[in-house]
Every structure is written in C-alpha cells, then in structure tokens.
Structure 1
Amino acid sequence: MKQVLLDKIKSRQAVLGVVGLGYVGLPLAVEKAKAGYKTIGFDIQTQKVAMVNAGENYIGDIVPEDLKDVVNSGKLKATVNYSLIKDVDCVAICVPTPLDQYQQPDVSYVVNSSKEIAKYLHPGMLVILESTTYPGTTEEVVKPILEETGLKVGQDFYLAFSPERVDPGNKFYNTKNTPKVVGGITPDCTEVAAAMYENILEGNVYRVSSPAVAEMEKIFENIFRNINIGLANEMAILCDKMKIDVWEVIDAAKTKPYGFMAFYPGPGVGGHCIPIDPFYLTWKAREYNYHTRLIETAGEINNYMPEFVLERSMKILNRFGKAMQGAKILLLGVTYKQDIDDVRTSPALDVITCLESQGADLVYHDPFVSKFTYKGKEYTSLELTEQTLNKADLVILTTMHSGFDYEWIARHAKMVFDTKNAFKEVTARANIERL
C-alpha cells in the first residue's frame, strides 16, 4: 500500500487536498497545483471558495497570476463539499488554532476538520496536520478521531505533522523554498509525507522521529522569538529609565560576530504565531505539573508594551503642556508587521485601546488597510497629507512600512514618537523621539 502511494506521488497521479484556504492553506494548495498535482481546496466559507474558483487572489504572498494559472488549467479547484475528500490521496489540515478567552488552546477547528476527513477516510490515504498546536495534538486528538473509522494508522492510512512556516511579507522565504519538518506516527507515515513535500517544495525536508517532536519544534521556534523580543522590550523600558538609547545599545552589541543575535523592541508583538503559540505550551506544561516561568514572563513584558507606549506618549505631550485627553493622535501603521495587510492581534490595536481609554482623539493611516473594525468600532485610514500631519499633536509610528517617506513625515509633523526606529536615517531629529 505504501509503495502504491509513493508511486502515485512520484508520478504526480496523486490527488492532493488542503483543508482551510487561509494564509497557510491557499499558498500550499497553489504550490501543490503548480507542481502538477490535481489539488482540491476545502473551506467552510463560500466567499473564499468562490474567489478561488474565479482565480481571485486574497492572500498577499501569492502571485495572482499563479492562482489564475492553476485554476484555469484545472489543477486547482475549491469546494465546500467535504465529500470530495473520498477522491483525495493526501490531505493537509491548515485551519486556525486560536486561544480562547481563558488563554487556552482552541483546537475545535482541528477537531471538526478531522471529523470531516474521517467520514471519507479510505485505505492508503495520507493525512497531515499543519496547524500550529501543542505537542501531542496529532496523536491525542487527530489520531483517535480517524481511527474511530476502524482503520489503523500506519497499517491502513498514514498520519503525520508538518508545521507551517509562513512568514507573511517575507521577500525571500515563502511556502516553496522554506525548509520543511515532518514527523509521522510511524516511519512509513514519515516516509510518505516527506516524499510528498519533496516532490512539491524546493526547501529541504527534515525528518524527525515523531509528530510530538515536530509540534514541539514549531512551538520552540516562536517561543525563542517571543522571549528574545521580551528581553529587548525589557531593555527598552530600563534604558528609558536610565536615559540610555536602547537602539544604540543593540547596534553596538550586534558588532560581536558570535554569541549575539539582534532582536528589537517595539509596541508589542502581533500576528498569528508569536503572541499565541507560547501559550499552547504553557497550557500543556500544566499536565506535567510544570510552570513555564520564563515563557510567561516574556509574555507579560510584551503584553505591557502598548501601555508603555501610552505612558511615553503622555510624557511627550506633557512637555508641550498638552494632556492626552483631547489630544489629536495620528497612528502610522496598524498591521502587525511591515508591508502586509494583516491586522490580526496587531499591537497597534492595543495601542489604540490604551490611547482612547485616556481620551485621545485618534486617527490612523495605513497604505495596506483602508478600514477595519475593532471592538465594534469602525476605523478608516486618512490620506497622509501635510495637513493630516500638521493637525496631529503627536504622530506615533507603530508599523514600519517601507513605503513611508520618513524624511517628509518628520518635516511636517509637530512631534513623532517612533516605536520601531523607522526614522533612524532622518537627520533633522529635533521632533523625533524613539522608544
């Protein structure tokens, strides 16, 4: 059975499926189709399905022409009909894994997707979970659901975990060329999963001994970043109290050619990974009676940064005899990282909450987000003009978009609070203050 599937993968006769057509799933589906496989994308949102089938792209990291080409050639189609999983040889689960209101993992999307796949699971089929989650999910959650069919993993079907490594807006690394980690329930599961990715991707495929190792390594990647960002943020807070420029400190430290990796402070952390994934492990660690102190402390520091931005902003305004109550604040950038259109868990949203809680009259400009709704309130991006800048008592830079003309902004703003060191090349700095 394994050889039959391997032969189908090698000859590109295998039909591939992707459950979830978001930031992870749709780029993966496009790459599978570009590699010559008939690919079916599954999603519960009819609007997404319709857009895919019309060749209309809604993910920034996909080349629109690539999507149109694979749709027009018949290599990719999308559907809300999960019964078509019966025709699929290999299916990847790429659904969200958010936190609930108690900061605990919400794997309901993974559970529901697994149940849908189980209805149409057939001998010789490969199932791969790509959604970031806590160690043990593949074996403790997905495997039992699939085996309720009477089919046995490693004997009748194959099951593996291969974490997504999507970095929206990255100009060099994407789904196709980023190395892949694969861990199967059994060695055969690992072999067939790795073979599939090796026939699709340019990046190396690294095999590990189990899904739990692959799950843990993905969590570790993001915890590493979260903790080091937390350290940079704590240094920024302390340097502010000591009247030391933290950015100059970091620039000096990174001249060391070994033993140091530069991380930078900011208004907080955002996106679909760094603010969320560490809490998956802290939750799982309680099962083993272990308290992940370092991880949680880093989270506390990072979560405090929007409030720190508020405190610094209030001090800046006070120097000009202006209270935050009624102050006109212009926020530059609301996305969680530069040059993307994603506001998910953006620290700018928490900055907005902090500023408005103190009575600020707040507006924003972001070339990638014309409008958004947050906590029931709709915000609309203002055109960035001399008048817009002149009217603001304080301009706060929260996202370092490459398209901003920082010299021009500084020239026309009364005062700039730069939380990302975006204005570092601006020479006339009398009205610029850095985090």
Structure 2
Amino acid sequence: MPADLAVIGLGHLGLPLAQAAVHAGIQTIGYDTDPRAFAEVAAGRAPVEGSLPASDIRRMLSLGFRPTTDQAELGRVRTAVICAPTPLGPDRTLDLSAVADAARALAARLRPHTTVLLESAVPPGTTEGFLLPILEEGSGLRGGRDFHLAHSPSRLDPGNRTHVYANTPKVIGGLTPACTESAAAFYGRLTDKVVRARGTREAEMTKVLETNFRYVNIALVNEMAVLCHDLGVDLWDVIRCAETKPFGFQPFRPGPGVGGHGAPVDPGHLPYHHRTPGPPLRMVSLAQEINERMPQYVIQRCATLLNEHGKAVRGARVLLLGVTYKPDLADQEASPAREIATRLMDMGAQIGFHDPHVLDWRVRQLPVPRADSLYEAAAGADLTVLLQHHRTYDLQGLAVKAQLLLDTRGATPAGAAHRL
C-alpha cells in the first residue's frame, strides 16, 4: 500500500514523529541512510539509545509502520520529513553531513507537489541555503514552485509525560506562504496547535533561541552553585524561594554538566559559506565555557571531601550513581558521567557505577564494574556521587548507608548529604 509520509532518519527525532503519524492514522514509511538503523527498527528495536522503547516500536510495526531501504518508495509519498542527526563536529559547529545524505536520497526520487519538511536542528539559513540547492539539483525541480519546502524545529522532550507530541505547539516556516500552509496542513493532523513563522529562517532561529535560553540559564545557576558553596549559602533553598516569584523568573537547577541532544548553536559560526556579518554570540560562548567546567568542579569537590575525611583520591573507591543525561531514561548522549569517571580514573580512583537503566557501561572502552546491591556498594565506597536522580533511588536511605555522599542534583533531603 502506498504511504502518505516518509520519515527520513530513524533516530531521536524520526521515530517519535513516525509514532505520532502512525497513531494519527497516516500511512508511514521510515527510511535511513544507515542500513543498520533499518535492520534494528525492522526487528522492533531502537537503533539509538533513548529514542523509543522497543515496545513502542513493535506497536508501530503492528499498526502498519514500514521501515524500508528502497529509495524508490520516497518518490511515492505526499510528505517527506528529514529528521537526520546534526551532532557537533570537531570545530563545535553542527555537522550537516547526515542532512545532506538524506536530502540526496530524497532528491533522486522527488516528484512534483511533494511537501518536504526539515526537523533536524540546524543553524538559520540551512533550509534555504543548504538543503534547497541539494533538492533542486538532484531532482531538477524548483522549490516553492514544483514542491513545497518548510522547516519545523523539533520540540521533543524525551520522558516528559505532560508535554507530548499532540499538545506541544509546532512552529513552521515555509519557503513561500503556500509552503507554510502545506506544512501546516500536515502538522495539523499531529498536534493541537500550529504556529506559523514568517519564513524558514525565523523557524530555524526559534530553535536556536530555545536551546540557547536553556543553556545560558543553566550556566548561570552553575556559576551560582560555585559561588554559593564558597559563601556557605544553600543555593537549593535560594532557588526554592526565588521560584515563588510569579513573574520575571524561571527556575533552572545546576548539575555536573549539560547532556542531551540539544547542543547550543552560535549562528556566528555557520558550517557553510553563508556567515553572519556580526560577531558571534558571546554569551553562548561564555555559557559553554562555564558548563564545560562543571565536571572538573565535581572532581574538585570529590577530592576535597575525601581529603577532609583523611583519604586521597588515589586508591579511593568511588561509586557513581546515574550515568544517563536525563532522569529515568537510558540515553547517555553527552552525559557528563563519562568525563567525570575518566578524570577520577586518571587520579587513581577505583570506579564503580549503578544505574537502573544501564546494564553495561564503558569508559575508554573498558567495562566499569556495576554494583548489584546498591546499598552494599554505597556502604563499601569511600565516596558515592549522585550524578543523575532516577526516581527509583531512595536518597534518604542512600544517605544513611553511604560513608560520604555528594549530591550534584540537590535531590537529597536538606542536611542528608553534601550538595553541589
């Protein structure tokens, strides 16, 4: 049966979109330029950690979702959405190579009147200045005349049970007004509210603003955490009081580092020839510097605590709790846990870990011992460090059992542990 929708990129963005489309009754195929991703999804498994549970993928397959390796099928759909990953490259810019690969695969089969949408996180100008030329050159068609083209930034929040696909407003910006309306007609089948941007660049910049807003505010509270510790002030109590203000304040909380897939973007450093005439976003660069210092600050606090209790880092048994980037998920993308473990190992510490969502964890390709009995491991460790607060952790019980407990998330009861 011909499909209405092709989702290109079966990862963190593509699978949730395909899930929403399938549940909305849209005949959907999934395509990925990596054949391994196809094989995993076809077998009912997620090709990347933390995208969707295997049970959800099996449910999608039972409802008619079809992963495919046949490029010809991309030419039989009315709507194609590119959800390719855009990881940070060595120069700290977003790597658009997967977007280019997806675009070339689609362009070879693109037919008139198709609506092409880009959901990948990209710098402003990418849809028009990078994606459009690939599609036009590969298909011989003109964007805005022969096919519709629009950008819609992803707003997924993995694990959030309150804000899901259907009740999260979708921002869209098209190459032309007709492109915008075609995109709105598609997303209107998946979500309760569609917000029209003036164009593709405004839609792209919306993601930049949202991501950098989070990143800069986390940097602020991370700096406040260091300052408050030096002054003997309970930052967590400060935040509790500040968040009672009904206007002009939004609470953010410090931590051992910033993980996840939403990398900060500086439009002053575009990964192709369309560069901004002005200076880079200095505040984003400074926030990045501050947030990247947090793993080292955690190490400093670990060493100080051990020293205060007559122990050196070298030879100390350190138990790390929670190695994922987000609570109650298995995804380890950009989690600070690996850097913290590496630094502690370099200082001669004996590292162990516990995470209810991670059974096998490796640092420098070497397996890290996993604690079978959490309480016994905490009691036997010279220092226990809470890096991620999974709700299965009984922190009050852990605080009683652990010889020393450093809480980097402010999740333990006041006075029960040393807080970041």
TM over 0.5: yes
Q: What is residue 278 of structure 1 aligned with on the other side? A: 265
Return the alpha-carbon distance in structure 1 between the equivalents of residues 374 and 148 of structure 2. Answer: 57
Q: CA deviation at 1:269?
A: 0.4
Q: What is residue 383 of structure 1 aligned with on the other side? A: 372
Paired residues of 1:132 and 1:277 also in contact (CA < 8 A)? no
Q: CA deviation at 1:406?
A: 1.0
Identify the match of residue 191 of structure 1 among 171, 175, 181.
181
SS at match of 1:345: coil
Alignment of 1:94-109 (within 5 A): 94-109=83-98
Q: CA deviation at 1:282?
A: 4.2
* Structure 2, unpaired ranges of 5+: none
Q: What amino acid is aligned across from residue 91 of structure 1 in structure 2?
A: A
Alignment of 1:219-298 (within 5 A): 219-273=208-262, 276-279=263-266, 281-284=267-270, 287-298=276-287
Q: 1:46 to 1:288 in 2, by over 3 A?
A: same
Return the alpha-carbon distance in structure 1 between the equivalents of residues 257 and 9 of structure 2. Answer: 28
Paired residues of 1:369 and 1:381 also in contact (CA < 8 A)? no
Q: CA deviation at 1:244?
A: 1.1
Q: What is residue 123 of structure 1 aligned with on the other side? A: 112
Identify the match of residue 207 of structure 1 among 168, 174, 196.
196
Return the alpha-carbon distance in structure 1 between the equivalents of residues 217 and 343 of structure 2. Answer: 24
Q: What is residue 311 of structure 2 aligned with on the other side? A: 322
Return the alpha-carbon distance in structure 2 between the equivalents of residues 110 and 60 of structure 1. Answer: 21
Return the alpha-carbon distance in structure 2 between the equivalents of residues 39 and 108 of structure 1. Answer: 24
Q: What amino acid is aligned across from residue 166 of structure 2 in structure 1?
A: K
Alignment of 1:2-21 (within 5 A): 15-21=4-10
TM-score by length of 1: 0.91
Q: CA deviation at 1:313?
A: 0.8
Q: What amino acid is aligned across from residue 173 of structure 1 in structure 2?
A: H
Q: What amino acid is aligned across from residue 347 of structure 2 in structure 1?
A: Q
Alignment of 1:36-435 (within 5 A): 36-56=25-45, 62=52, 67-73=57-63, 75-148=64-137, 149-199=139-189, 201-273=190-262, 276-279=263-266, 281-284=267-270, 287-424=276-413, 429=416, 432-435=417-420
Q: CA deviation at 1:377?
A: 2.5
Q: Number of residue pairs matched?
A: 415
Return the alpha-carbon distance in structure 2 between the equivalents of residues 57 and 236 of structure 1. Answer: 37
* 1:297-336 Cα distance to aligned partner (Å, 9 max, x none): 1111110000000111111001111111111100000000
* Structure 1, unpaired ranges of 5+: 1-12
Paired residues of 1:282 and 1:296 also in contact (CA < 8 A)? no
* 1:249-295 Cα distance to aligned partner (Å, 9 max, x none): 1112122221111111110100110xx2324x341396323131111
**Could you tell which deviates more after superposition, 332-341 or 255-264?**
255-264
Q: What amino acid is aligned across from residue 278 of structure 1 in structure 2?
A: V
Q: CA deviation at 1:53?
A: 3.0
Return the alpha-carbon distance in structure 2 between the equivalents of residues 241 and 386 of structure 1. Answer: 31
Paired residues of 1:20 and 1:42 also in contact (CA < 8 A)? yes
**Could you tell which deviates more after superposition, 231-240 or 353-362?**
353-362
Return the alpha-carbon distance in structure 2 between the equivalents of residues 130 and 380 of structure 1. Answer: 39
Return the alpha-carbon distance in structure 2 between the equivalents of residues 283 and 375 of structure 1. Answer: 31
Q: CA deviation at 1:159?
A: 0.5
**Could you tell which deviates more after superposition, 123-132 or 242-251?**
242-251
Q: What amino acid is aligned across from residue 6 of structure 2 in structure 1?
A: G
Q: CA deviation at 1:68?
A: 3.4
Paired residues of 2:165 and 2:191 also in contact (CA < 8 A)? no
Q: CA deviation at 1:60?
A: 5.2
Paired residues of 1:329 and 1:362 also in contact (CA < 8 A)? yes
Return the alpha-carbon distance in structure 2 between the equivalents of residues 338 and 401 of structure 1. Answer: 5
Paired residues of 1:105 and 1:283 also in contact (CA < 8 A)? no
Return the alpha-carbon distance in structure 1 between the equivalents of residues 322 and 52 of structure 2. Answer: 22
SS at match of 1:395: strand
Q: 1:213 to 1:18 in 2, by over 3 A?
A: same
Return the alpha-carbon distance in structure 2 between the equivalents of residues 16 and 248 of structure 1. Answer: 49
Q: CA deviation at 1:177?
A: 2.4
Return the alpha-carbon distance in structure 1 between the equivalents of residues 46 and 140 of structure 2. Answer: 39
Q: CA deviation at 1:179?
A: 1.1
* 1:321-376 Cα distance to aligned partner (Å, 9 max, x none): 11111111000000001000000100112211222221111111000011133432
Q: What amino acid is aligned across from residue 276 of structure 2 in structure 1?
A: E
SS at match of 2:116: strand
Q: What amino acid is aligned across from residue 306 of structure 2 in structure 1?
A: L
Q: What amino acid is aligned across from residue 159 of structure 1 in structure 2?
A: L
For the aligned residues, what is the CA RMSD?
2.0
Return the alpha-carbon distance in structure 1 between the equivalents of residues 243 and 71 of structure 2. Answer: 51
Q: What amino acid is aligned across from residue 58 of structure 2 in structure 1?
A: K
Paired residues of 1:14 and 1:90 also in contact (CA < 8 A)? no
Q: CA deviation at 1:207?
A: 0.6
Q: What is residue 3 of structure 1 aligned with on the other side? A: none
